[in-house]
Amino acid sequence: MDNRILLTGASGFVGGALFKNIELSSNVEVSVAVRSKSSEFKHLNCWIVDFASFSDISEVLKRQDVVVHTAAVAHNKKIRISSDFEHINTRATLRLAQQAAECGVKRFIFVSSIGVNGNISSKPFTELDIPKPSETYAESKWRAEQGLWEIQESTGMEIVIIRPPLVYGPNAPGNFATLTRWVEKGIPLPLGAVNNRRSYIAIDNLVDFITTCIDHPLAANETFLIADGEDISTTHLLHKVANAMDKPSRLIPVPERLLTLGATMLGKRDMARRLLGSLQVDISKARQLLGWQPTISLEEGLKRCFK
């Protein structure tokens, strides 16, 4: 790897982990684009960028070979209005990519979401499946993807799109944080008989894959679905989380249909789908085209969450 890289969202969960990884590479010049100053980046080329205002950062982009775009408004944050997702996740992404192409950036890597494929699968999702985003967050990511391919076609800048499922790791936000809080507090959960299959990805594996895509020639102009390669049930996941935390798993075996009914009556149907439904990812393309393999197992990834 010998590139000048601009990383957006370096203060976030995925971007922060990626920054720590690529900073260790002696032949990479990394710059970061963040919303506010931080002592963590004081020794780097750190640019304060407000993507929401569609800032012109051409002077920054002219110095870059690759842009890795992890900055986004996430579905688990307080901003839930469709226009907010559209403004940041779609239009700001495309504005950045267009500027990057005009400034001669060779490759633009976009961290999207498996939600673009859908939030429930009857069989493992692949890159060939027709996208069916069902939430505003995923829809904004899908529109960004479509726009990126238009930019690629008109400018020739290489595009790489990565769609991960739920990402877990130390201090992970969102749904994983909620699950771990339940286990840590010893709350009895009626999830002891869930027979679904779900894919997850450890932050270490996601970071390794993004790093691979920075300069792998065969990653150019491709979309990848990526995960740990180990699909387990929600029940099994909670047992593993409890074991990694050295806590008892207090799981009560309640039939799934009763859980679904109860969640629907409480207005928590979407949460029930995430906990009870299946969502599997086929990572064959990443393995076969790029020769990539997950660097750690799901069990090891969970252990690293709580060390």
Beta bridge partners of 192: none
**Distance (Å, rounded) from C-alpha 90 to C-alpha 146?**
10
Residue with tokens 């969450």: 305
137 is catalytic: yes
Write down the catalytic residue from 13, 19, 41, 137.
137
**Distance (Å, rounded) from C-alpha 219 to C-alpha 240?**
33
**Distance (Å, rounded) from C-alpha 296 to C-alpha 203?**
10
For residue 293, which of 228, 219, 210 has the smallest C-alpha distance? 228
Per-residue HEC secondary structure of 111-132 comes to ECCHHHCCCCCCCCECCCCCCC
For residue 233, which of 176, 278, 267, 297 has the smallest C-alpha distance? 278
- Return phi, psi of residue 108, to 5°: -125, 115
Active site members: 137
